[in-house]
């Protein structure tokens, strides 16, 4: 099984004629994802690398039957691109774009609550169900089909940790990069609820970082509502207070959002926290053996 994407996923690339959009459209297609085409206003009717280009999402969805979009649009246009995709009937939007203004994101989150559309991101590396479909910029070669669900705020840490999991002989059911911006469409709890109900996921890896309180909320959920083994890693333990580290959402304000608080909350919930990414695989094996 898988969450978010599978063999039935049909993807439109918003911003397909841009450098990044086209490069990753080809990469997704090469992985086996059904990329149905792309959208760039004013360039409809063209074909790039074998992909049909449409002027609008409504036209593209109508002609391709796509159910998913991935957004490679500059941040000043990304909010409108997300809303256009939702209006066109897209069920899942993966936003790679970063730096979307917070007020725009608040407007988007409020708007999507009225729609049957899920948003992953912004500032997300994407989502992948190995061997079935990948949507985004994730390097498909490091993933292996299996039964470990991964949810992460950090793209590069996801790659490192997944590489260790794969090297240890464990595979992944689905990996989700929820994004590191202050306001995002899907948070840890949203993804953990899906992993809870997914029969193809036997264990969960949570990759968090400093800033906010999402990891603490995830710890409570895992301890109270998730019967599957879980392990975690928290990035940014040496970050100074008040300084943003990497992601816009990774900032400690006063005593809130510190790595020590997050690690303590996870440990109190019975969730082992790795001191370095390479430890995740061994912790996983221990928890799976205990289960």
- Assigned CATH class of 139-290: alpha beta
- DSSP code for 171: -
Distances, alpha carbon 164 to alpha carbons 92, 144, 160, 171, 174, in Å: 29, 11, 7, 10, 16
Query: Which sequence positions are flagged as catalytic?
Result: 247
Q: How far is it, in rounded angstroms, from Cα 11 to Cα 262? A: 36
- Mean per-residue pLDDT for 36-52? 98
Residues pairing with 129 in the sheet: 133
pLDDT at 211: 83
Q: How far is it, in rounded angstroms, from Cα 271 to Cα 263? A: 9
Who contacts 126 (Cβ-Cβ below 8 Å, separation ≥6)? 70, 94, 96, 120, 134, 135, 136, 137, 138, 177
The predicted-structure confidence for 222-256, as pLDDT tens digits, reads as follows 999 999 999 999 987 655 555 555 555 444 444 55
pLDDT at 239: 55
Distances, alpha carbon 189 to alpha carbons 20, 29, 137, 142, 216, in Å: 30, 30, 23, 26, 11
pLDDT at 285: 95
Asked if residue 133 lies in contact with residue 7, where contact means CB atoms within 8 angstroms, the answer is yes
| Domain extents in the chain | 10-120, 139-290
Of 178, 168, 177, which Cα lies nearest the Cα of 146?
Answer: 168
Confidence band (pLDDT; 50, 70, 90) for 155?
confident
Q: How far is it, in rounded angstroms, from Cα 58 to Cα 144? A: 35
- Mean per-residue pLDDT for 21-38? 98
Who contacts 175 (Cβ-Cβ below 8 Å, separation ≥6)? 127, 128, 130, 138, 143, 149, 150, 151, 152, 158, 162
CATH homologous superfamily for the domain 10-120: NAD(P)-binding Rossmann-like Domain (3.40.50.720)
Distances, alpha carbon 192 to alpha carbons 2, 98, 218, 219, 254, in Å: 13, 23, 8, 10, 28
Q: pTM for this one? A: 0.93
Q: Do domains 10-120 and 139-290 have the same CATH topology?
A: yes
pLDDT at 237: 66
Long-range residue pairs from 280-283, CB within 8 A, at least 24 positions apart, any chain: 280/161, 280/164, 280/165, 280/205, 280/231, 280/233, 281/164, 281/165, 281/167, 281/168, 281/170, 282/168, 283/231
Percent of the chain with pLDDT over 70: 93
The predicted-structure confidence for 58-87, as pLDDT tens digits, reads as follows 999 999 999 999 999 999 999 999 999 999
The 3-state DSSP class for residue 64 equals helix
Cβ-count burial 45-76 (b if 16+ within 10 Å, e if not): eeebeebbbbeebeebbeebebbbbbbbbebe
- Mean per-residue pLDDT for 16-29? 98
Q: For the chain, first and last CA: distance in Å?
A: 20
Q: How far is it, in rounded angstroms, from Cα 198 to Cα 9? A: 17
**pLDDT for residue 190 is more than 90:** yes
Q: How far is it, in rounded angstroms, from Cα 188 to Cα 152? A: 8
């Amino acid at each position: 099984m898988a969450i978010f994407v599978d063999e039935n996923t049909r993807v439109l690339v918003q911003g397909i004629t841009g450098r990044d959009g086209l490069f990753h459209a080809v990469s997704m297609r090469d992985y086996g994802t059904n990329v149905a085409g792309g959208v760039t206003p004013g360039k409809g009717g063209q074909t790039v690398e074998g992909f049909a280009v449409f002027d609008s999402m409504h036209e593209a969805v109508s002609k391709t039957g796509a159910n998913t979009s991935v957004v490679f649009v500059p941040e000043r246009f990304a909010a409108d691109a997300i809303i256009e995709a939702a209006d066109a009937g897209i069920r899942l939007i993966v936003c790679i774009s970063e730096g979307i203004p917070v007020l725009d994101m608040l407007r988007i989150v409020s708007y999507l609550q009225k729609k049957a559309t899920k948003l992953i991101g912004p500032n997300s590396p994407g989502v992948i169900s190995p061997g079935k479909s990948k949507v985004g910029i994730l390097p498909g070669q490091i993933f292996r089909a299996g039964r470990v669900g991964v949810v992460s705020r950090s793209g590069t840490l996801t790659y490192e940790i997944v590489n260790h999991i794969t090297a240890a002989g464990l595979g992944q059911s689905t990996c989700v990069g929820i994004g590191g911006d202050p306001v995002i469409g899907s948070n840890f709890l949203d993804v953990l609820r899906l992993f809870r109900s997914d029969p193809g996921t036997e264990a969960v890896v949570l990759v968090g970082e400093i800033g906010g309180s999402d990891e603490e909320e995830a710890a409570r959920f895992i301890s109270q509502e998730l019967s599957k083994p879980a392990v975690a890693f928290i990035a940014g333990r040496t970050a100074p207070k008040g300084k943003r580290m990497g992601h816009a959402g990774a900032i400690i304000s006063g005593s809130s959002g510190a790595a020590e608080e997050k690690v303590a909350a996870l440990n109190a919930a019975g969730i082992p926290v790795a001191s370095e990414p390479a430890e995740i695989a061994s912790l996983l094996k221990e928890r799976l053996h205990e289960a």
